[in-house]
Amino acid sequence: GAGVSQSPRYKVAKRGQDVALRCDPISGHVSLFWYQQALGQGPEFLTYFQNEAQLDKSGLPSDRFFAERPEGSVSTLKIQRTQQEDSAVYLCASSLARQENTEAFFGQGTRLTVV
């Protein structure tokens, strides 16, 4: 596709349910990022992939959060046993390269609401 695609756009989960959020990056982009954005805040880093390798997961808030990118393209962010504090917009971004001079392109996000 032309841009980064995320699905679903909206997800409502009951507390304790597991959810899976999908990100389809721009074709050929090496870098893939996941961010969490609370209402009225800036995006907070969750994790980073270079191709299929998860090089940085320092932002994952707990072991309930898990991300993968097995073939170096599509990525899935999984949240187990969702809690109310997980309610946020989850943004995925991809970048052509890892260098600091390369911009990232973002998807429209998945708005997760835990009830």
Partner 1 sequence: AQKITQTQPGMFVQEKEAVTLDCTYDTSDPSYGLFWYKQPSSGEMIFLIYQGSYDQQNATEGRYSLNFQKARKSANLVISASQLGDSAMYFCAMRGHTGNQFYFGTGTSLTVIP
By the rule CB under 8 A, 111 interacts with partner 1 = yes
Measured from the CB atom, is 62 or 102 closer to partner 1?
102
Order the strands of the 75-79 sheet from edge to edge.
5-7, 19-24, 75-79, 65-68
User: Scanning residues 60 to 99, which ones bind partner 1 (CB under 8 A)?
Assistant: 89, 91, 93, 97-99
By the rule CB under 8 A, 106 interacts with partner 1 = yes
By CB under 8 A, the count of residues binding partner 1 is: 29
By the rule CB under 8 A, 33 interacts with partner 1 = yes
> With 0-12 CB in 10 A as exposed, 13-18 as middle and 19+ as buried, what is 53?
exposed
